[in-house]
Amino acid sequence: MKFLRPIIVLTVSTWLLVGVAYPLVMTGISQVVFPWQANGSPVRIGTTVVASRHVGQYFDENQYFWGRPSATIPPYNPAASTASNLGPTNRLLISHIVQRIHTLKATIPGLRTNQIPASLVESSGSGLDPDISVQAALIQIPRVAKATGLSPAVLKHLVDSQILGPQFGIFGVQRINVVQLNLALYKLVHRG
Partner 1 sequence: MSTQTVITWIVVIAVFAFTVKPLGTYIAKVFTFQPTLLDKPLTPIENTIFRAMGVTRQSAMTVKQYGLALIFTNVVWMLGAYFLLRVQGIMPFNPQHLKGINPELAFNTAASFVTNTNWQAYSGELTMSYFSQFAVLSYLQFVTPATAVAAAIAFLRMLSGKKMGNFFVDVTLVVTRLLLPMAIVVALVLVGQGVPQSLGPYLHLHTITGQTQTVPQGPIATWEAIEHLGQNGGGFTNANSANPLENPTAFSNLIETISMGLLPVALFYTFGVMTGRKRLAWTLIGVAGVFYLVMLALLYFPEMAGNPIINALGLHGHANMVGKEMRFGMGGTSIFETSTMAFSTGSVASAHDSYLPLSSLSFFLGMFLNMVFGASGSGLLNMVMFVIITIFLMGLMVGRTPEFLGKKIEAREVSLASIAFLMHPLLILVGTAIAVASPIGLAGILNPGPHGLSEILYAFSSAAANNGSAFAGLNAGLPFYEVAIGVVMILGRYASILVMLLVGASLARKRAVPETSGTMHTDTVLFGGILLGAIVVLNALTFFPVMALGPLAEQYLMMAHHLF
Check residue 130 for interaction with partner 1 (CB under 8 A). Answer: yes
Contact region with partner 1 (CB under 8 A), list: 85-93, 144-152, 153-161: 85-93
Closest CA to 178 of 144, 129, 126: 129
Distances in Å between the Cα of 145 and the Cα atoms of 44, 54, 82, 134, 149 are 25, 26, 32, 17, 5
Count of residues binding partner 1 (CB under 8 A)?
Answer: 99
Residue from 103, 115, 148, 180 touching partner 1 (CB under 8 A): that is 115
Phi, psi of 64 (to 5 degrees): -120, 160
- Collapsing DSSP to helix, strand or coil, 161 comes out as helix
Binding residues for partner 1 restricted to 136-165, rule: CB under 8 A: none
Check residue 186 for interaction with partner 1 (CB under 8 A). Answer: yes
Minimal distance in Å, beta carbon 66 to partner 1?
Answer: 11
Check residue 183 for interaction with partner 1 (CB under 8 A). Answer: yes
Nearer to partner 1, 110 or 171 (CB): 171
Check residue 32 for interaction with partner 1 (CB under 8 A). Answer: no
Distances in Å between the Cα of 63 and the Cα atoms of 36, 41, 142, 165, 182 are 30, 26, 10, 25, 9
Nearer to partner 1, 103 or 135 (CB): 135
CB 75 within 8 A of CB 128: no
